[in-house]
Structure 1
Amino acid sequence: MGIFSRLKTLISSNVNDIINKAENPEKMLNQLLIDMNTQLIESKKAVAMAIADEKKLERETANQEAQAQDWEKKAMLAVRAGKDDLAREALLRQQEYTNSSAEYRKQWEAQKASVDKLKESLRELQNKIEEASRKKNLLVARAKRAEAQQKIQNTISSVSGNRTAFDAFDRMAQKVDQMEAQADAAKELDDFSADNDLEKKFAELEKSDTSADMMLLELKEKMKALPGSTSE
């Protein structure tokens, strides 16, 4: 189980390092998946070696048991031949192989149990990596959306915090209002002046006509008083 402890420590270390330095979530997630799959390959190699050792112990256990059975047959053969001393030697060899096969069997069973756990852990790890791969696109989309929202919020905060720009805008609006008011006042004054000029012209014209009439009447009266004038 040590290989998975080392794998967990390595992945945790890589994750913390990448997250602390992360500026691009998509790049970070891709790198994490690359690291996980690399370690998965290494773990598969280690599990394969453990399986090979388990198979070797299994074969050796079977070989020791076969040797014990073979020496038992030899002891029986010696008994049938009336050679008890040779039978005893064969039985001693049988006992050695029986004891050895028992030790090998213990080692093989322990290794087999360990391999079964390693296989289960390997399957679990592979499932988690596959799940992480499926979630990657979703996480990237969420990260991009969060980044866009953050940029918008930063822009709003920046504009809201810059009162100088808003004050300048307000002052410009006031200036435009003033310019419009001045233009309206100038136009009104021009119209007023034009009306006054027209009235003045008509007044002068009326005055001019009245004076001429008076002068004409005066002239006619003066002419009547002259000698030799005839009355109308």
Structure 2
Amino acid sequence: MSILNRLSNLTKATIHEVLNKLEDPILMTGQYLRNLEEDIAAKETLLRDQQAAVKMNEQKSKDAAHNAQLQEQKALEALTAGNEEAARRAAIAKIHYEDQAEHFSTNAKQAESQVFELELRLKEAKEELARLKEKRKELAERARKVEQSSQAECVNFSQGTYSGAAARGFERMEEKISEWEAGMAKSGYRPFDSASTMNHDNDPAVNEELQRLKDQLSSKKDQ
């Protein structure tokens, strides 16, 4: 290996070690949760604004429709009195108010659609927040065990159904803890927990992995 390659690998390893020390998984996951909570708060504010917009536009549409009816009545009265010019002005005003009523009605429907979408996103975000809080407890316990043993134990990484930026951050921090835990496997330290093993008997992720391995063996036999 050339001296340049050695220096390059040494530099990369040094940078990785520095970043590894700077990124504390528990602190980082706490920040991800705060970011998600801020995002939820922002969505709740936007939801309230859109709900207010729905009511405002509905009221404006209702008022405009009422004014259109009044102008129609004026036009009828003007025609009855033989004042065609006044009737024309009233008819023009009626059309104007009808256009306004339709415009505000359209705005109200658009705001209603945004309210529905925001409510859905808020529901998903709050569910994700609850999941990630539970995941943080699990990661904190795993990190505590790693810290106590000053090594790491290899544990399967399960992505679950997380989706937002906070969830991706959690996944990265879980991978980080898994890297710590991997050192324990290499050192030969593998604490046995029978209760934990029993708890995974019906774990979907475990069953899925077993089935994948069975399919892989079956495929090799068929070749």
State TM-score, norm by structure 1: 0.50
**Higher relative helix content:** 1
1:90 equivalent to 2:85? Answer no
Give the partner amino acid of 2:42.
E
Equivalent residue for 2:138? 138
Q: Is the 8 A contact 1:19 1:28 kept in 2?
A: no
Larger radius of gyration: 1
Equivalent residue for 2:26? 26
- How far off its partner does 1:117 sit? 0.9
Spell out, residue by residue over 1:171-221, the C-alpha distance to the aligned partner (whole angstroms, 9 max, x if none): xxxxxxxxxxxxxxxxxxxxxxxxxxxxxxxxxxxxxxxxxxxxxxxxxxx
Q: What is the 5 A alignment of 1:1-232?
A: 21-23=22-24, 25-148=25-148, 151=151
Give the partner amino acid of 1:37.
E
Q: How far apart, in 2, do the equivalents of 1:130 and 1:76 lie?
A: 63
Q: How far apart, in 2, do the equivalents of 1:95 and 1:19 lie?
A: 69
Give the partner amino acid of 1:34.
R
Spell out, residue by residue over 1:88-109, the C-alpha distance to the aligned partner (whole angstroms, 9 max, x if none): 2212211111122222222221
Where does structure 1 lack aligned partners over 5 or more consecutive residues? 1-17, 158-232
Counting matched residue pairs gives 139
Q: How far apart, in 1, do the equivalents of 2:20 and 2:65 lie?
A: 56
- How far off its partner does 1:150 sit? 5.4
- How far off its partner does 1:115 sit? 2.2
Spell out, residue by residue over 1:133-184, the C-alpha distance to the aligned partner (whole angstroms, 9 max, x if none): 2332122113323444552766x95xxxxxxxxxxxxxxxxxxxxxxxxxxx
CA root-mean-square deviation: 3.0
Give the partner amino acid of 1:22.
E
Q: Percent identity?
A: 21
Q: How far apart, in 2, do the equivalents of 1:54 and 1:41 lie?
A: 20
Q: How far apart, in 2, do the equivalents of 1:19 and 1:135 lie?
A: 21
Where does structure 2 lack aligned partners over 5 or more consecutive residues? 1-18, 153-182, 188-223
Q: How far apart, in 1, do the equivalents of 2:82 and 2:102 lie?
A: 30
